[in-house]
Amino acid sequence: MFFGSENKKLLVFGDGTLSEMSAYLFKADVNVFAHVVDSKYKQKETLNNTPVLELESLFDYVSNQSAQVILPLGYTNINGVRENKFKYFNELGIEIASFIHASSTVWDDFKCQKNVIIYEQVIIQPFVQVGENTLIRAGANLGHHTVIGKNCFIASQVVTGGNVTIKERCFIGLGATIRDGITIAERCFIGAGAVVVGDTEAGGVYLGNPAKKITKTSAQVTNII
């Protein structure tokens, strides 16, 4: 399900593998006009027969009133890169779209914020809230009354119990489990397969079962993400 404007040209930010895969999913619901990248990162002229435009010359092709954008970017700098691009397009006045894959389960009370991208076979139980600019990858299961802050990345097969709080700019790794009632503080990095059984500290990196905090901070592990 695509949340945007039918009469505006859809731009997908990025030409890497996550953007490529995401655009493939979007095309089931909406036409993708172009990929957009910063000129210094441009890798190709087209991607799966879709043009790749340079951000610096974007307005040669569209106006801020004729375009909409979606940003399927990863978690580099603990989601900071995606946060900055979200702010950039917001300030330009370009509409920011959202997407929920048709195979996912969401309830009638769910409100989809800007640049929320929910991939295949995600289960979102009643009364869950997801902040803007957050990606939820395939197969995640979010328990009732869970609250996820803005600018987060929830990897595939993550499971949360009920009443979990995940604050801004967190990364929750592949297959991690967060027990009911737990609060994940802002900018945390939860490693793949971790089982979180207690509240975390801001900027912490937690690995293992049960999850333990290591000495490095989430800012320091940027080089491995």
Which two structure tokens, joined as six digits, stand for 79?
């989601």
- Architecture of the structural domain at 101-211: 3 Solenoid (2.160)
- Considering only residues 108 and 55, tell me which one the structure prediction assigns the higher pLDDT: 55
pLDDT range class, residue 43, cuts 50, 70, 90: confident
Specify the pLDDT at position 109: 84
Q: How far apart are CA 26 and CA 68, in angstroms?
A: 13
Query: Which run of H or E residues covers position 190?
Result: strand 189-190
- CB-based contacts of 40: which residues, under 8 Å, 6+ apart? none
Q: Enumerate the known binding-site residues for substrate.
A: 74
**Is a pLDDT exceeding 50 seen at residue 27?**
yes
- What residue segments make up the domains of the chain, in order of their start? 2-99, 101-211
Distance (Å, whole) CA 124 – CA 113: 14
Place of tokens 């076979």: 121
Cα end-to-end span (Å), the chain = 29
Buried b (16+ CB within 10 A) or exposed e, 135-168: bbbbbbbbbbbbbbbbbbbbbbbbbbbbebbbbb
Question: What CATH number belongs to 2-99?
Answer: 3.40.50.20
| pLDDT > 70: percent of the chain | 98
pLDDT digits (tens, 9 = 90+) for 112-158: 999 999 999 999 999 999 999 999 999 999 999 999 999 999 999 99
Annotated binding site: 74
* Alpha-carbon distance values, 108 to 41, 96, 128 (Å): 40, 22, 11
The per-residue pLDDT for 69 is: 99
Report pLDDT for 225.
44
pLDDT mean across residues, the chain: 96
Q: What confidence tier does 222 reach under pLDDT thresholds 50, 70, 90? A: low
- The number of CA neighbours under 13 Å toward the Cβ of 188 is 30
